[in-house]
C-alpha cells in the first residue's frame, strides 16, 4: 500500500515579508516555511497551527487553504503537502520552541526566490501560490465526524 508522508506548511505574510524558518540539516542551513508532519488525533488546520507555534512561537489560525502538492523528494520519499495562508498585520517577534529550528527570518519573496538553500522547491512554489491569490476556504480540507 502506498503511504505518502502528510505534511502541512504555513505561508505567513506580513507587510510584504514572509516568515521563514532556518534549520541545519547535514551541516547546511536550510530555509522552509513553518511546516511539519500531521500527527495522530489532529486535523490539518490544527497541525498547521501547532507547527507554526512550535517552530516560531506565533499563535495564529490559517485564514485559507492554498494548495495540496503531491511531491517526491530527491530521496524518493513521497509527500502530500497541504499549504495554508496566514496574514498578519506586521512581522511579529519569534521564539522557536522546536530545538531543530535555528532561527526565524522575515524575508521578501525575492530573497526567498533567489536563495540557494531552500529545503525543497515547494518553499518558493507555496509563495508563488500565495502571490497568485490562490486561496480556498478551509472547509475544502475540513474533517468529517472528527471524534477528537
Interval 37-92: pLDDT, tens: 999 999 999 999 999 999 999 999 999 999 999 999 999 999 999 999 999 999 99
Fold of 5-140: Nucleoside Triphosphate Pyrophosphohydrolase (3.90.79)
Alpha-carbon dihedral angle through residues 46, 51, 57, 58, given to the nearest 10 degrees = -50
How far separated are the first and last CA of the chain, in Å rounded? 26
Interval 1-42: pLDDT, tens: 989 999 999 999 999 999 999 999 999 999 999 999 999 999
Please say if the pLDDT value at position 104 is more than 80. yes
Alpha-carbon dihedral angle through residues 66, 7, 63, 114, given to the nearest 10 degrees = -60
Domain-by-domain residue ranges, the chain? 5-140
Cβ-count burial 8-45 (b if 16+ within 10 Å, e if not): bbbbbbeeebbbbbbbeeeeeebbbbbbbebeeebbbb
Distance CA(61)–CA(56), nearest Å, equals 13
Q: Are 33 and 123 in contact (CB under 8 A)?
A: yes
Amino acid at each position: 500500500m502506498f503511504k505518502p508522508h502528510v505534511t502541512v506548511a504555513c505561508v505567513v505574510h506580513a507587510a510584504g515579508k514572509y516568515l521563514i524558518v532556518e534549520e541545519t540539516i547535514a551541516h547546511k542551513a536550510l530555509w522552509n516555511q513553518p511546516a511539519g508532519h500531521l500527527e495522530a488525533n489532529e486535523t490539518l488546520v490544527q497541525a498547521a497551527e501547532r507547527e507554526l507555534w512550535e517552530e516560531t512561537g506565533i499563535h495564529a489560525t490559517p485564514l485559507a487553504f492554498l494548495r495540496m502538492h503531491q511531491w517526491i523528494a530527491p530521496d524518493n520519499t513521497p509527500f502530500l503537502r497541504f499549504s495554508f495562508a496566514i496574514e498578519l498585520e506586521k512581522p511579529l517577534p519569534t521564539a522557536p520552541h522546536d530545538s531543530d529550528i535555528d532561527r526565524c527570518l522575515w524575508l521578501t519573496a525575492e530573497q526567498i526566490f533567489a536563495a540557494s538553500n531552500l529545503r525543497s522547491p515547494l518553499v518558493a512554489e507555496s509563495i508563488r501560490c500565495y502571490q497568485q491569490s490562490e486561496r480556498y476556504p478551509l472547509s475544502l480540507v475540513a474533517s468529517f465526524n472528527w471524534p477528537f
